[in-house]
Structure 1
């Protein structure tokens, strides 16, 4: 990894939507080459901005003034076609990307940990995500981070079956204090 420090911070409206969109395309490129049509493989800048605006918080990872990572946290989604996302204390994240040359250096993990903390602070008891079922390497990575299978989903904008994975944010110690 480049020695220049990676700073993870909240998205600011002055951040370049073009840079974020290009980052998404590059980071999802391997998945596109696998034949998986994630929205992030081809979305335009207007879609990127809409996705950021619909979230409760977007984080960016920055290195030397360039955006090298992004993650958007979404609150409960009562209109979702998947029942899990409709739960009032289930938050989820998406538009998650790290510059390919910087992957496997802990940047993504740091971003997920920030999303977990933010979701917990906003009252979430679960943090969920969806990804392509055929992207087994991603499913396995998320499972190593403590995410578990919830259900399948089929989105109109993808060409694959998705898996919904979720991680409990309230542990046994938290439960004991609530009893």
Structure 2
């Protein structure tokens, strides 16, 4: 039973770290990546579809993306989706090809993004600590039901803390890598 609780906590913490990593992809650095537009939804004949299902997204150079809709009438819908998004980018259209140019980040903007990364990391750490609290609560419930001894509870809580420390270190490593990416000129 204790092993199941520990494995569940470890799995949930790993998912929290992965979700944090996925959230950071949306934070724009000076480099172009197709992941910037992965979350965009385009109105395709009355239903919202992911951009990747209505167009081809490619990196043309280090600071620009090209988006080529599969149908010519989708160009306007894709432009609207980009303008309505939180990217802060203006699309340039030439026929059926839409170009997104990523401006170089200013020092001030880099610092703002760094603060955003830190606040997101704090949210991820809170989620991890909540998972630890839940796991410790489950262990104590087993003690109340007299299914485990107090020594087992102490050992389990120590192991859960080690798992928590490892997950928080993973979050810190992700933050460090993202900051290096942001500060690279």
**TM-score, with length taken from structure 1:** 0.23
The answer to which structure has the higher helix fraction is 2
Using CA pairs below 8 Å that are at least 6 residues apart, which structure has the higher relative contact order? 2
- TM-score, with length taken from structure 2: 0.22
Tell which structure's C-alpha radius of gyration is larger.
2
